[in-house]
Amino acid sequence: MNAPQILNLNGTDKNFSMTVGYVPFSAHSDYNQTSDFIKKLNVRNVILVHGDSREAERLRKKLIKDFKSIDIDLTCLMPKNGQRV
C-alpha cells in the first residue's frame, strides 16, 4: 500500500504520514497551567494565538526564559491573525 501524498507549497508531492490526537486545553489557562502542559507534552515549539498581545508577549518571554533556565530551547511564536507558521 502506498502512503498518501500531499502537494507541497513548491508544487512537489510528498508522502504524508501522521497521527492526530485530541488534547483538551483551555485558552484561558494561566502561566503555571501552560508551563505544566508544555512539560507534560514535552514539546519544543509553542504558538500563542489567543489573548491580549501585550500579555501574550509577556507570557512568551517568560516561557522562553524559564525553559532556558532548565536547559530547554523552547521556540514560542505569536503570529498575527492570518499569518502562516
Predicted local distance difference test score (pLDDT) of residue 77:
93
Integer Cα distance of 50 and 53 in angstroms:
8
25-79: pLDDT as tens digits: 676 788 898 899 899 888 899 998 887 889 889 999 999 999 999 999 999 999 9
Q: Which of 28, 50, 80, 84 is catalytic?
A: 28
Q: Mark whether 28 is an active-site residue.
A: yes
**Structural domain includes residue 69:** yes
Rg, C-alpha atoms of the chain? 16
**Structural domain includes residue 83:** no
Predicted local distance difference test score (pLDDT) of residue 1:
58
**Structural domain includes residue 85:** no
**Structural domain includes residue 27:** yes
**Structural domain includes residue 50:** yes
Residue 11, domain extent: 5-77
pTM, to two decimals: 0.66
Number of domains in the chain: 1
**Structural domain includes residue 82:** no
**Structural domain includes residue 43:** yes
**Structural domain includes residue 84:** no
